[in-house]
Amino acid sequence: MKVFASSRLRKSGQMLIRVEYAPINDSDLLVASGLYAVQPKLPSVVGNEGAGKVFAVGDGVQNVKVGDRVVIPHGVFSWAEKVLAPAEEAIVLPPEIDPQQASMLSINPPAAALLLEEFVSLKPGDWIVQNAANSGVGRAVIVFAKQKGVRTINIVRRSELVHELKVIGADIV
């Protein structure tokens, strides 16, 4: 284990992030079990997304500073206490953004966008039906569908979620 005593890194252009949130996705479990289509070079940790605070920066880093909260860049495995990442790929989070929610930005919203764009040609006024609408992907589907003028029917298990989903744009829950 490397111990970093200062807020400067020897490697220029890099940032060291102290991981605060690293969600568990199905893809993480598939990677860990060796069943995912793309496998990391071993030895490796897993974790496809996350968020944390910048702990140290390398020489030449201008776009991020120690203490900034960032989304862990895609391709940097997040199931660790600290991760080293290219600073140029930093997405600095504004203070009002919940870091737990931001930690899930790399997988769920792109999956929702693909669902709405790649499988069928949806037009404003069309309807879609989705199960597990309160999941990260489901919530993103609601928001993106609303932006496209596509209406949504959303299925959830618990009635207390109805209002929450309507607030973000669900038509029927």
| 8-102 to CATH, choices 3.90.180.10, 3.40.50.2000, 3.30.1130.10, 3.20.20.70 | 3.90.180.10
Angle, CA 137 vertex, CA 41 and CA 91 arms, to 5°: 60
| CA-CA-CA-CA dihedral for 19, 24, 27, 32, to nearest 10 | 80
- Tens of pLDDT, residue by residue over 47-76, are 999 999 999 999 999 999 999 999 999 889
Annotated catalytic residue within 32, 36, 151, 172: 36
Q: Does residue 21 carry a catalytic annotation?
A: no
- Give the residue extent of every domain in the chain: 8-102, 108-167
pTM comes to 0.77
- Tens of pLDDT, residue by residue over 3-57, are 545 556 668 899 999 999 999 988 899 999 999 988 888 888 999 999 999 999 9
- Tens of pLDDT, residue by residue over 121-144, are 999 999 999 999 999 899 999 999
Average per-residue pLDDT for the chain:
92
Do 87 and 61 contact (CB within 8 A), yes or no? yes
CATH superfamily placement of domain 108-167: NAD(P)-binding Rossmann-like Domain (3.40.50.720)
